[in-house]
Amino acid sequence: MSDEARIKSTRVYTGRVISLDVDQVRFPDGTTGELEIIRHPGASAVVPFVSDLRGADPQVLLLKQYRYATGGTLYEIPAGRLEPGELPEACARRELLEETGCTAESIVPLTSMFTTPGFTDERIHLFLATGLTRGEARREADEFMEIETVALSVALQMVERGEIQDAKTALGLLFAAGFRVGV
């Protein structure tokens, strides 16, 4: 909800990653109600290409990552939460390095998305990375993942078959393919 629609906000919980507010709001028809809103600082995610985008079928890095909330592993692109005052591109570069060990010559914005606008204000900024140089990953203690290199066409088939279920990853791959690579 916009600031004009918020009548009152009560912080119920503050955690390491999220906060929970209960907001009293005025809806567009003039009625009022309460909404539980997860506050999140936002994040960046990056579609990392390890080969030239002009090639026949460019190669992309995917992470096969353990996610407790889903009860297993998911295919994902590198992503992470914005630090206070951090610009989205800087976050994308930091997460690419931490999770894959790669640095990129070029990182360009693709789009931004709301993850689940029914109950959170989280926005993820999506980027495309090229000109990768591999190095050593610097993962956090709770990050368990494997890096896989796949052709973009294979990644798109994985989206179509439902093997890639992470929304930011599916959108990032589809956006890159449809608007940047032209596969």
Active site residues: 143
Integer Cα distance of 58 and 50 in angstroms? 7
Fill in the DSSP letter of residue 30: S
Burial 28-53 (b: 16+ CB within 10 A, else e): eeeeeeebebbebbbbbbbbbbbbee
HSE of 111, CA atoms in CB hemisphere, 13 A:
15
